């Protein structure tokens, strides 16, 4: 059974010695973030900050700062297997016979199990706040160049024009007791719904899998809440908003219900995950209409800076979901890896190559799926493990002719947080084709073969070398 909410997850972490409560009082201004960064870099536990100098609600951080805690959130299951095995049930097709019809009923039952469910109420609605006051919530100021305090781990839920529910992490700058700036970059799926009057639900502390999935882009037309249910193994329990027409997880710690005003305000600069300040720009303003919470809510926070921090493990989780989604459209993709230190900008993908230009096509498809990521796409053959740095570097060194195999796509959307581009959100992509070349890619000649010894020679050599190594140990 998946965790129903953050509270259940925290209790389990504490029982396992993976969550500690800090007695010392810290300020949300620079102090708490600095402590949290050091704990995360050191591979330390999750930390509950109950004593905050500003007198706000408690905060908890470094929840996903170790892969062991991510695995615990997942029930020690690989999200790739769940998503890959279940996505076929989402493909509508008429049954071809009685047996196929029966199988389709089973698939329908599976979809029903993982689909989101709207319930009448939940712990997040235990307390309706009489007065809206964002100053009571632990928004943090991480770096001295930031102009104010930000919510860094709030999950924003928004409903599309087609009724689909989308959610993700969008940082929020507090500019008043009832006003926020929503950092919605243009290519984010949620930003497409950014007109005035649109309701949003800003959620703190849903269940840990929903928190992880908030950092994973899911391409249209897939419903992100349904994919999240697949990863959880059961559907999300949602409640409808009081003041906005948006559903959100019933077992969350706290929710801010708000509405886009149609105004914009200058947001940032913000010390971001690339280790530099992101540019200050105008973004949409949200006016808070209501706040609901548990009776004793705890709000998650995360910190940013040079990698690898907590977001590195969210990237690692996301690549497994992304692989399953990608293989539905590109079955020739064997594996995919986004190194956490690469900020989501570096993607290594292995493919079963079949034709000239195949690597370039795969890179173009990844850019189309998710323009914010995959600045560098390195394509290798199916026998190369994308997570084995030695094998990848060898493939690049041995198979890449820079003039022929490095393809640059100019004038392409990028992530606005990427400091390498002078115009935020607009730059270029590069594909590095590190596959072995087919004759049509190699001047009509056969590509040089790999060095391979006869099998019986390798077996003999292994037997003797193993005995030598054991004897010298």
Please answer whether residues 338 and 319 qualify as being in contact, where contact means their C-beta atoms are separated by less than 8 angstroms: yes
| Strand 19-22 relative to strand 46-49, pairing | parallel
* Backbone φ and ψ of 181, nearest 5°: -105, 125
* Angle CA 340–306–51, to nearest 5: 105
Marked catalytic residue, from 223, 272, 405, 418: 272
Cβ neighbours of residue 379 closer than 8 Å, sequence gap 6 or more: 349, 350, 351, 359, 362, 363, 431, 432, 433, 434, 435
The token pair at 23 is: 């007695």
Q: Is 20 left (phi over 0), alpha (psi -120 to 50) or beta?
A: beta
Q: Is 401 annotated in the active site?
A: no
How far does CA 372 lie from the centroid of its chain?
Answer: 12
Please answer whether residues 122 and 41 qualify as being in contact, where contact means their C-beta atoms are separated by less than 8 angstroms: no
Three-state SS letters, 67-84: HHHHHHHCCCCCHHHHHH
List of E strands, 154-197? 155-159, 165-169, 172-176, 179-182
Question: Can you tell me the distance from the alpha carbon of 291 to that of 178, in angstroms, rounded to the nearest whole number?
Answer: 10
Question: Can you tell me the distance from the alpha carbon of 449 to that of 441, in angstroms, rounded to the nearest whole number?
Answer: 15
* Neighbour-count burial of 295, counting CB atoms closer than 10 A to its CB (0-12 exposed, 13-18 middle, 19+ buried): exposed
The token pair at 55 is: 């007198």
Greatest Cα pair distance, the chain, in angstroms, is 79
The residues annotated with a catalytic role in the active site are 272
């Amino acid at each position: 059974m998946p965790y129903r909410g953050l509270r259940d997850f925290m209790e389990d972490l504490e029982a396992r010695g993976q969550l500690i409560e800090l007695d010392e009082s810290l300020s949300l201004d620079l102090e708490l973030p600095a402590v949290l960064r050091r704990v995360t870099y050191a591979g330390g536990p999750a930390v509950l900050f109950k004593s905050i100098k500003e007198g706000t609600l408690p905060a908890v951080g470094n929840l996903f700062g170790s892969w062991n805690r991510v695995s615990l959130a997942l029930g020690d299951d690989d999200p790739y297997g769940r998503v890959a095995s279940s996505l076929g049930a989402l493909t509508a097709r008429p049954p071809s016979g009685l047996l196929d019809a029966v199988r389709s009923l089973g698939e329908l039952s599976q979809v029903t199990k993982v689909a989101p469910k709207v319930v009448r109420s939940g712990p997040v609605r235990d307390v309706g706040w009489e007065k809206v006051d964002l100053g009571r919530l632990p928004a943090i100021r991480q770096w001295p160049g930031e102009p104010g305090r930000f919510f860094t781990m709030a999950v924003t839920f928004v409903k599309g024009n087609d009724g689909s529910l989308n959610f993700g992490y969008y940082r929020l700058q507090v500019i008043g007791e009832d006003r926020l700036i929503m950092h919605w970059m243009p290519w984010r799926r949620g930003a497409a719904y950014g007109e005035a009057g649109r309701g949003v639900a800003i959620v703190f502390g849903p269940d840990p899998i929903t928190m992880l999935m908030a950092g994973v882009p899911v391409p249209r037309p897939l419903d992100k809440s349904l994919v999240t249910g697949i990863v959880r193994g059961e559907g999300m329990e949602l409640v409808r908003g009081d003041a906005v027409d948006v559903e959100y997880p019933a077992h969350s710690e706290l929710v801010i219900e708000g509405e886009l005003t149609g105004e914009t305000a200058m947001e940032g600069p913000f010390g971001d995950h690339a280790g530099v300040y992101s540019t200050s720009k105008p973004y949409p303003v949200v006016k808070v209409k209501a706040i609901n919470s548990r009776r004793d809510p705890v709000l998650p926070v995360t910190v940013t800076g040079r990698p690898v921090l907590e977001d590195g493990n969210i990237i690692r989780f996301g690549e497994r979901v992304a692989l399953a989604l990608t293989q539905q459209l590109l079955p020739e993709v064997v594996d995919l890896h986004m190194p956490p230190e690469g900020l989501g900008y570096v993607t290594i993908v292995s493919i079963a190559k079949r034709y000239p230009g195949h690597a370039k096509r795969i890179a173009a498809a990844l850019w189309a799926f998710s323009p914010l990521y995959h600045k560098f796409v390195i394509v290798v053959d199916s026998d190369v493990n994308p997570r084995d740095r030695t094998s990848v570097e060898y493939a690049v060194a041995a198979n890449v002719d820079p003039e022929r195999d490095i393809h640059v796509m100019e004038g392409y959307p990028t992530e606005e947080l990427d400091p390498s581009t002078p115009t935020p959100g607009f730059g270029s992509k590069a594909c590095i084709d590190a596959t072995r070349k087919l004759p049509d890619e190699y001047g009509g000649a056969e590509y040089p073969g790999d060095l391979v010894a006869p099998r019986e020679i390798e077996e003999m050599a292994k037997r003797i070398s193993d005995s030598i190594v054991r004897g010298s140990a």
